[in-house]
Structure 1
Amino acid sequence: MSRHALARRRAPRPSSLALAALVPAAMLAAAAGDVQPLAAGRAAEPVVERVVTVADDVPYGLEIVAAPAAFSSAPTAVPPQVSFAAAQTGTASRWRLDTRPLLLPVGLAPERGLQVRTILVSRTISATFPEIHSIGGVRPDALRWHPDGLALDVMIPNPSSATGIALGNEIVSFVLKNAVRFGIQDAIWRGVYYTPGGAQSGGYGHYDHVHITTTGGGYPSGSEVYPR
């Protein structure tokens, strides 16, 4: 077959006018993809906060952040000073440790010579009632309660004022409600002698402080802990 015959069978090339018509159409199709609404995706899951207690196998004072599988399959320990906003990036759930101390700090009463239940009462009242600034403990006395480390004198600020009287009443109520835990024998406040079994009024004094007597529990050996 001659070269002229082959040339006649080749497909004709598109004209310049046809190309010019195709280019705008392609541009319009591409632009349409930018303005068409996207398919609705799955809504992001909200961050879930949960407060848990400190476990024996978790370092004290740390926050545990569970990251999604896309980031890590293991929890990440975050120091508590890191803000939530800084630590929440990419997290689906969060556990925050309760970092309050589990043990009571030393209370206002000097603890030398106090027995263990008396120490517990001093520490608890000191932590629970910040209005109190002074608690007496061991001192010479004709009765054995203070010398033997069994008694406390919780000094009430402005004891004759309405606020002071209310505070003293609240402390008496508090120790009696916790009489079993504290080993309370009695409390004396504003002429009333209180025991876990009832109250007796008349002639008992103690108008500037709440006197509290415990059953002692023995002198500390140094290995005791005083939980909240």
Structure 2
Amino acid sequence: MLLGVGRHSLPKKRRNPSVYALTALAPAAVLLGAQSDTGPMPVVEPEPVAAPAPEVEHPAPWSVEIVAAPPAAPEPALLTDPGSAGATPASLVSASRWRVVSRTLPAGVAPERGLQVRTILAARNISAVFPEINNIGGVRQDALRWHPDGLALDVMIPDPNSEAGIALGNQIVAYVLENVQRFGIQDAIWRGVYYTPGGARSGGYGHYDHVHVTTTGGGYPDGDEIYYR
């Protein structure tokens, strides 16, 4: 017969058991072998099974929540005409972009009626760059076609015979010649000198109280033009 003492079980008497005896004693040996070396196998009480927690739906990790600003927060200023139709977010973004990069020019001191687009561009830029100028003539009757056709400006110089006045007239001539391509400059006349993109010649040209500027015109405006500095 096989006796068990923990895992150190030894047979008391060595003999060949029958197959039937070994089969009958195998469960007892397994039970005895599973016991502790120092005592009987502890009885383990089954843990109570908690009731299954209710299923909770979790939002997807990529969901986005849009929270409206509180009523106390200031509303963004509209950059469009208040009289126009309601501005959409896209129009606000576009207006903001234009506001940041805009170099648009308002009308200057020259009356623009009858002027062609390049003449208007030159007049507005002269007004913006030289705020001392408070009078620029445009369309008027003349024996030559430049003024009647909206191709010429008369930039009147304050105190034209003074040192400051002469210097101001020289600066305006230099400015328009630096922008020949932008303004479509054909010529300028100041203090008896006729200036062109190809050079200057003096003698008998008059214009001692204003700088005469002629452009190549570019056609008459249709009202949708935007002029840039």
Q: TM-score, normalised by structure 1?
A: 0.58
Match of 2:145 in 1: 144
| Structure with larger Rg | 2
Match of 2:126 in 1: 125
Q: What SS does the aligned partner of 2:144 have?
A: coil
Query: Which whole-Å CA distance do the structure 1 matches of 2:225 and 2:143 have between them?
Result: 30
Query: Which whole-Å CA distance do the structure 1 matches of 2:156 and 2:121 have between them?
Result: 17
With 198-207 and 102-111 compared, the bigger mean Cα shift is at: 102-111
CA apart distance, 1:227:
1.2
Matched residues, percent identical?
A: 73
What root-mean-square deviation, in Å, do the aligned CA atoms of Structure 1 and Structure 2 show? Answer: 2.0
Structure 1 residues 100, 168: closer, same or farther in 2, change over 3 A? farther
Structure 1 residues 135, 184: closer, same or farther in 2, change over 3 A? same
Match of 1:103 in 2: 104
CA offsets 1:133-176 (integer angstroms, 9 cap, x no match): 00000000000000000000000000000000000000000000
Match of 1:6 in 2: none
Letter in 1 for 2:176: V
Match of 2:48 in 1: none
CA apart distance, 1:60:
4.7
Match of 1:210 in 2: 211
Written as runs of structure 1 = structure 2, the 5 A alignment for 1:158-177 is 158-177=159-178
Query: Which whole-Å CA distance do the structure 2 matches of 1:198 and 1:176 have between them?
Result: 10
Q: Which runs of 5+ in 2 are unaligned?
A: 1-90
Written as runs of structure 1 = structure 2, the 5 A alignment for 1:15-164 is 58=93, 60=95, 102-164=103-165
CA offsets 1:76-99 (integer angstroms, 9 cap, x no match): xxxxxxxxxxxxxxxxxxxxx985
Which one has a larger percent strand, Structure 1 or Structure 2?
1
Written as runs of structure 1 = structure 2, the 5 A alignment for 1:186-225 is 186-225=187-226
CA offsets 1:158-213 (integer angstroms, 9 cap, x no match): 00000000000000000000001000000000000000110010000000000000
Query: Which whole-Å CA distance do the structure 2 matches of 1:126 and 1:99 have between them?
Result: 22
Query: Which whole-Å CA distance do the structure 2 matches of 1:99 and 1:153 have between them?
Result: 33
CA apart distance, 1:102:
2.1
Match of 1:181 in 2: 182
Q: What SS does the aligned partner of 1:113 have?
A: coil
Count of aligned positions:
139
Q: What SS does the aligned partner of 1:143 have?
A: coil
Letter in 2 for 1:175: V
Q: Which runs of 5+ in 1 are unaligned?
A: 1-55, 63-96
